[in-house]
Amino acid sequence: MPKLTFVGHHGDVTLYRADKLPEGLKEIQSLVLHKGEGVHVHQFTNDSDVYIGEDKDGNRWFSVGAGGATITHEEHQTQVFPPGTVFKTVIERSYNPYTKAIEAVQD
């Protein structure tokens, strides 16, 4: 299992730096890391050199190639990731006392 270190948030997406990608990821054939509500998306720019994969729990991981990577979102600052870095992303969740359910935070 990869070693993880919390590094921050990009809106409702929590970012953990990883020392490597886990095995068994399903490759995502898109530059969209996560979809938010409506048309808002956390998306890598077209010039990003990035691999995105999803684990069996639905968490997305990404590995940045030699060209680096930049992620954008309509409501958040652009974030740049250096070459050779690996990250796990998790959508924040919250408890809804009315439905008594754990729900994904939407931004």
96 Cβ neighbours under 8 A, 6+ residues apart: 102, 103
* pLDDT for residue 42: 82
The whole-angstrom separation of Cα 20 and Cα 87 is: 8
Under a CB-based contact definition with an 8 Å cutoff, are residues 68 and 80 in contact? yes
In angstroms, the CA 21 to CA 42 distance is: 20
What integer is the mean pLDDT of 3-18?
87
pLDDT tens track for 16-73: 999 999 999 999 999 988 876 666 788 899 999 999 999 999 899 999 999 999 998 8
d(CA 54, CA 20): 14
- CA geometry: angle at 62 spanning 83 and 88, to 5°? 115
